[in-house]
Amino acid sequence: MHTCKEAIELLAAYLDGELPPAQKQALEEHLGACAPCVDFVATYRQTPGLCKKALEAKMPKDLADSLSAFLRKHTAA
Ligand SMILES: [Zn+2]
């Protein structure tokens, strides 16, 4: 099973619909069991004006930064 960090690394491709089926299923299984990740994905999905190009340009650093802060706050490990 994916850790939260691994799940988030797949998120850009997932939101683009470009994730291979096996990885997509694994990510969805993680999201099914991980409330913090669900909240994070929901936030991204609901962001108005979020387009593929913006996502590609902004995801790696912005998402990594915000997610690591987010996970530090929400997970004990
Ligand atoms: Zn998670």
Ligand 1 center–CA 35 separation, angstroms: 7
Ligand 1 center–CA 2 separation, angstroms: 8
Say if residue 64's pLDDT is above 60: yes
What is the domain extent for residue 65? 4-74
Structurally, the chain folds into a number of domains equal to 1
What pLDDT was estimated at residue 22?
93
pTM: 0.55
pLDDT in tens, 2-50: 688 888 888 878 877 889 999 999 988 998 888 888 887 777 776 665 5
Ligand 1 center–CA 21 separation, angstroms: 19
Q: Are residues 34 and 62 in contact, defined by beta-carbon separation less than 8 angstroms?
A: no
Which residues place a Cβ less than 5 A from the ion ligand 1?
A: 4, 34, 37
Cα separation, 58 vs 55, in Å, equals 5
Cα separation, 58 vs 32, in Å, equals 25
